[in-house]
Chains A and B, each alone.
Chain A
Amino acid sequence: MVREKETTLYIGPQHPGITGNMMVKLKVQGDTVVSAATHVGYLHRAFEKLIERRNWIQAFTLLCRFCVPEPDPMELTYARAVEELDNREVPERAKYIRVIVMELARMQSFMLWYAGQSGSAGLYLTPQWSVGDRNYILDLFEDLTGGRIYHMYIWPGGVRRDLPEGWTDKTLRTMDYIEKRLDEYNKILFDNTIFQKRAQGVGIVPKDKAIEWGVVGPVLRGTGIKSDVRIDEPYEVYDKIDFDVPTQEGGDIWARALVRKEEVRQSIRIIRQAIADMPGGAYYNKVSNPMKWTVPAGQAWAKTESVRGEIGFHVTSDGGNKPYRVHVKGAAYTHGVTVLEKILPGQNIADVSFILNSLGVCPPEIER
């Protein structure tokens, strides 16, 4: 019997699978991973520290950058925590607009996941298509907020401006287009034998350990556990909208992919309902002077469902015009460290980036 030598291999830090800059230090025997350790710090910009030096509104320019593919859930979660501290009501129309924005954000992030997941399997047609189609959603954001990626649109008390004329019609047309495209994505990705063979039985998160390891979102639902903040602790107007939370059994990359695929269809369903049911009226319970605005002392914990799972903000105020402490926890904080280190041993080196993508790892969210 030949005993294979153990070698150290570094995956990253240059975008190990279109996730962002991080490194996974692997011990390998042949092609098989023996142990893994996550190394982060390449994107640390001390956002949480810098927020303590800015006022409550200026903080938005920093916190939307915690995770590039998902700026909007950060804005909403922070805004909700501040609203709780300030006891600030949000107009009904703003709640509907926020739901539309959140679901558009989910869809654009999903398109980016499509690109990363298929690209890391060596299937390069899907990224070309999905990044292109993502731009149609970014067009909607540009029309609505002026920015394509970072919006700073959701503020405590509502949203910064009302919907532009004709925007809802354009959004509905885009939804029709994306819905048709999803069938075509099925043909090139989900019906593709290469993708199926790469994804099935790989990167399994055990169902009995998932919650204990802090697994959330599509990764948790891929183990068969139905959990979604939008249903479990409804915020905005999600309790007034009819939608399903898809689950799959198996806990592998394939199960997670199927969950995400169905979630986009649900997002389209949610957006159509929200546009149809949205009332008129005010969209912003205005903060009188953002530069002088103080928030009552206290602590608040708010959480929302992003495309990668639960995002939580723990916000502390000392009664001043700046946050005393803001601490964010995204899905990547557990998925990219604890979960990754536990499921990589026994996997093939070629699957490491593939698994990273399927877990929704976003390194800047880990180190902030």
Chain B
Amino acid sequence: MTDLVKENILLNAVTSAFKIEGKVIRDRRVEVHADKNTVSSILLFAKKQLGYIHMNHMTCIDWIEQGEFELVYTIYHPVDKLTLFVKTRIDREIPVMENIDTIWDHANTYEREMREMFGIEFPGLVGEHDFILEDWDQIPPMRKEFDTHKYAAETFYTRPGREDAKDVREELSKRSGTVVPDFAKKYSRE
């Protein structure tokens, strides 16, 4: 059982420097919650002052019902072996976040992907607009309201010879004479 000394020292260092909230999640894991305008300062402080020189990851979660995007920056201390999560929320209607690729070069890739997949703008971000998608004219597809079923139905046509779109389960039941159970329907929450 660890006494979480290093974790609490890290938490105090960041929360007291920026007057923000946070918690020790478990051994080796600490998270802080910050205003979006403070994030780059926290990351720079953690990198230059505390030794969190490796950025593992950067992600976005679409909390559509709350009208917010949550951005999570995961950074790592290679000597102390601690991971710090810096979390912030931005307005879904005005999705603008500070560009941090001046702190870590590879943040550029994450930001380009978020711009494309969630529609978040990072002022000053360099790089072609099309990163993974090509000539995309719909809403950013990783947003929760993007309906993959609807998009597929409207975009792709049925392969010739399959226009009748027979239900595979029904056809199998007819041919074999036994009922093929519909597990998806049986266990669906809807």
Contacts and interface: CB of A to CB of B under 8 A. Distances in A.
Contact residues on A (Cβ < 8 Å of other chain), bracket: 35 or more
Given A49-B148, A316-B61, A214 B104 contact: yes
B72 A40 contact: no
A340 B108 CA distance: 14
B81 interface: yes
B142 interface: yes
A53 B106 contact: no
B148 A44 contact: no
Which interface residue of B28, B74, B146 has the most chain A CB atoms within 10 A?
B74
Nearest to A310: B56
B132 interface: yes
Contacts of A286: none
Interface in A261-317: 289, 291-292, 299, 301, 303, 310, 312, 314, 316
B54 interface: yes
B133 interface: yes
Interface residues of B, number: 35
A150 interface: no
Contact of A342 (B61, B62, B105): B105
Given A40-B132, A48-B142, A50-B148, A211 B53 contact: yes
Interface in B116-161: 128, 130-134, 141-142, 146, 148
Contact of B55 (A214, A292, A316): A214
B57 A301 contact: yes
Interface in A82-121: none
Contacts of B53: 211-212
A213 B148 CA distance: 34
Contacts of A316: 61
A212 B133 contact: no
A291 B81 contact: no
Contacts of A201: none
Interface in A319-338: 320-321, 324-325, 327, 329, 333-334, 337-338
Nearest to B127: A37
Contacts of B60: 327
A22 B46 CA distance: 35
Contacts, number: 86
B29 interface: yes
A301 B104 contact: no
B125 to A, nearest CB: 14
B59 interface: yes
B62 A325 contact: yes
Interface in B4-58: 28-29, 53-57
A29 interface: no
Given A211-B54, A329-B57, A41 B132 contact: yes
A191 interface: no
A233 interface: yes
Interface in A232-281: 232-233
A233 B189 CA distance: 38
A310 B131 CA distance: 23
B132 A338 contact: no
Given A40-B131, A314-B74, A337 B109 contact: yes
B61 A213 contact: no
B88 interface: no
A32 interface: no
Nearest to B112: A337
Nearest to B149: A53
A327 B108 contact: no
Contacts of B142: 48-49
Interface string B149-183: 00000000000000000000000000000000001
3 closest pairs, A vs B, by CB?
A291-B187, A214-B106, A338-B106
24 contacts: A37-B128, A40-B131, A41-B131, A41-B133, A44-B132, A44-B133, A49-B142, A211-B53, A212-B104, A213-B105, A213-B106, A232-B81, A233-B28, A289-B187, A292-B187, A301-B57, A301-B83, A312-B74, A314-B59, A325-B61, A327-B60, A329-B57, A337-B106, A339-B106
Given A49-B146, A212-B104, A301-B83, 5 more contacts: A44-B132, A301-B74, A312-B74, A338-B109, A339-B106
Interface of B: 28-29, 53-57, 59-62, 72, 74, 78, 81, 83, 85, 104-106, 108-109, 128, 130-134, 141-142, 146, 148, 183, 187, 189
